[in-house]
Amino acid sequence: MKLTDTAVRKTKPVDKPVKMADGGGLFLLVQPNGSKYWRLAYRFEGKQKLLAMGVYPDVSLILARERRDAARKLLATGVDPSENRKAAKATRLERTENSFEVVTREWLASHMKNKAFSHREKVIRRFELYLFPWLGGKPIADVTARQVLEAVQRVEKQGKLETAHRALQVCGQVFRYAVQTGRAERDVTADLKGALPPTTAKHMATFTEPKDVAELLRAIDGFKGSFTVQCALRIAPMLFVRPGELRMAKWADIDLDAGEWRYWVSKTKTDHLVPLPKQAVTLLRELYPFSGHGEYVFQGGHDPKKAMSEAAINAALKRMGYDTKTQITGHGFRAMARTILHERLGIDPHIIEHQLAHKVPDVLGMAYNRTKFIEQRKAMMRVWADYLDKIKSGAEVIPLSA
C-alpha cells in the first residue's frame, strides 16, 4: 500500500532501521535515532543503485513522489538519475565559480597589477558599489545586456552619468576577458552602445593667461603649509607631470647631477624621462635632507614608507583660495604648460606632447619614445622654468619664434 502523510508523520523509530515502501522504488528509511530519509531504489544497466531523495519533513511525501517520477522519466530515456545529479551539481558549482564577481576579481588581479594604486582602488570600488550588488552572484555566462543596463542606469539616476559610463566600460572589459578564458560566449555590453546619454566633455580647470599664472605662482611662494607640500606646489607647474606621478616620485629614479628624472608611466605603460631645469634641481636639493633617507621624494607626514597624499596639492590650492573645479587643479598644470608653451612660446606641439608622455604616433607610426626630441625637450624645460620665474617677478617675456 502507498504511504500517507499521516503514517509517515506518526511512524516511531525502533531499535533498527525500518523501510516503508511507497511504490515505484521510493521508500522512507526510518533510523533508530528518529531521522527519516527518502530513498529511491532502481536498476541501471543491470546494477542495483540507490538515490537519496531528501530528508523528511523538509521533503514532504508529495515532493518525494515528484522527485521519484522525475528520476524514473530519466531512466526511461536511458539516463542514470544519480549521474545526472552529479553532472547538475558540477554544473552549478562551475557556474558559481564563474560568477560575475569571481571573474571580475580574477580580471582585476591580472589586468590591474601594473596600474597605479589609486586607479586600481577606484576601479575596484566602482565594481563593489555599482555592479557587484546586482550582478556579482550571477554566472557571468547568464548575465544579460538588460541586467547590465539596469545596473548602470541606477548609477545614472544618482546623477553620476560619467561614472555610469565608466562602469559600463569596465564591465565590457570583464566580459571580453570572460570570452577569452572560455567563461562567456560574448560581450553583452556591445549591445548597449548609445544606451546611456552622452557625457559632456570635461576639461581640467586651469589658467592659460600669463597674468593669472603669475598670480598663482606668487600665491604658491606665499603658501604656509608643510615644507613638503610647498616644494610639491612649486615644482608641479615647472615639470607638469601627472599629479600621481609627482607624488609617487622616488629618489632612486632621480639623478640630480645629470638633471634627469626617469620613471615608468603606468597609465601609458612607457618609460619616461623628465629633464630637470636648474630651478627644479635646486628645489630638490633643498628637499633632500627632509626625505632623502626614505623612498619617496614627497613624503607623507613623517613616515618615510608613505608618499604624500593624493589630495595634498588640490587641498593646498583650496587653502590658497582657488576653486579646483573652475580655476586650477593639480592636473591643470599640464594643460597650462601645453597651451602657453605652444601659443606663447612657440614650441613645436610634438615636443610638448612627448614631454607630456602622451602616446602620439608620428608620421611613421612610431609611438612615444622617452629619448625622442630629448635635446629639444631639455631646452624647452629650461625655457619654461625661466619663463615662470620671469612672469612671477613681473618681467616682460618675449615669446620664442615659431
> For residues 244 and 242, what is the distance between their CA atoms, to the nearest angstrom?
5
Amino acid present at 114: N
Based on the residue annotation, tell me whether 342 is a catalytic residue of this protein: no
Which among 334, 338, 354, 377 is annotated as catalytic? 334
Q: What angle do CA 157, 158, 161 make, to 5 degrees?
A: 75
Which among 120, 267, 342, 378 is annotated as catalytic? 267
Which residues, at least 6 apart from 292, have a Cβ–Cβ distance to it below 8 Å? 251
Which among 72, 250, 344, 358 is annotated as catalytic? 358
Q: Are 208 and 314 in contact (CB under 8 A)?
A: no
Which among 296, 322, 368, 387 is annotated as catalytic? 368
Based on the residue annotation, tell me whether 218 is a catalytic residue of this protein: no
> For residues 379 and 400, what is the distance between their CA atoms, to the nearest angstrom?
12
Partners of residue 54 on adjacent β-strands: 38
The DSSP call for residue 191 is: G
Based on the residue annotation, tell me whether 37 is a catalytic residue of this protein: no
Based on the residue annotation, tell me whether 119 is a catalytic residue of this protein: no
Q: For residue 133, which of 113, 147, 114, 116 has the smallest C-alpha distance?
A: 147
Which among 126, 247, 272, 331 is annotated as catalytic? 331
Report the run of H or E that residue 300 belongs to, with start and end. strand 299-300
Based on the residue annotation, tell me whether 331 is a catalytic residue of this protein: yes
Which among 36, 242, 354, 377 is annotated as catalytic? 242
Sheet holding 36-44, edge to edge: 18-23, 26-30, 36-44, 47-56
Based on the residue annotation, tell me whether 224 is a catalytic residue of this protein: no
Q: How far is CA 6 from CA 2, 11, 12, 61, in A?
A: 12, 8, 12, 10
Q: How far is CA 127 from CA 4, 135, 266, 400, in A?
A: 52, 10, 21, 49
* Active-site amino acid positions: 242, 267, 331, 334, 358, 368
